Amino acid sequence: MVTRGPQNQFPYLYSFELGDAVDDMHNVEEQTAIQEPPFPHTFKRGAERYTAGTAADYYDGYPQATWRFSFMPVASWQWIDTFFGDPPATSVDIFVRTKDDTDTYHVYSAKMHRPEEGSDMQRGIQGYYDLLLRFTQMVEQEE
């Protein structure tokens, strides 16, 4: 059993990470006030899944993932938003550590897409509700 350190300090309960480089990734839980993992998070091994006559599955396209935060404080969103630059781009190249469909963490290079204005994401007084981050064109990296 892992004993958790003080709030937002190592050891973290989960290992979802973002960064501009593999050796410069930061745990999402480390950021100001994000106190829950992205839930639900999804992972697809490819855009399309097929089943061969041997019952083996295979996939076309790149893996994709999504992270949904039921609530994200303003300061935490500002940390993520810095990856998009100024003026903000609609998508950026990033490195992400996320769980695959077997609940195993892997590092990927990916495109992270900025949530669209008018999407399900709603601004509240102290933060954002239903914030969804999408990752596409994911390529697994060596850790």
Residue 28 falls within a domain, yes or no? Answer: yes
Residue 69 falls within a domain, yes or no? Answer: yes
Residues 6+ apart with CB under 8 A from 70: 36, 39, 129, 130
Q: Which domain holds residue 71?
A: 17-47+62-140
Q: Where are the beta strands (DSSP E) in the chain?
A: 17-19, 25-27, 41-44, 48-51, 57-60, 64-73, 91-99, 105-113, 122-123, 127-140
| pLDDT band (50, 70, 90) for residue 117 | low
CA gap 130, 94 in Å, rounded:
22
List the structure tokens of 9.
């300090």
84 phi/psi in degrees, rounded to 5: -85, -10
For residue range 7-41, what is the model confidence (pLDDT) as tens digits? 555 655 678 899 999 999 988 877 756 666 677 78
CA gap 47, 94 in Å, rounded:
20
Q: Does the pTM of the predicted model rise above 0.85?
A: no
For strand 91-99 and strand 105-113, is the pairing parallel, antiparallel, or unpaired?
A: antiparallel
Residue 84 falls within a domain, yes or no? Answer: yes
Number of domains in the chain: 1
Residue whose entry in the numeric block shows the structure tokens 């091994």: 45
Residue 132 falls within a domain, yes or no? Answer: yes
Residue 3 falls within a domain, yes or no? Answer: no
Strongest mean pLDDT among 43-47, 56-60, 92-96, 97-101: 92-96
SS (H, E, C) 77-110: HHHHHHHHCCCCCCEEEEEEEEECCCCCEEEEEE
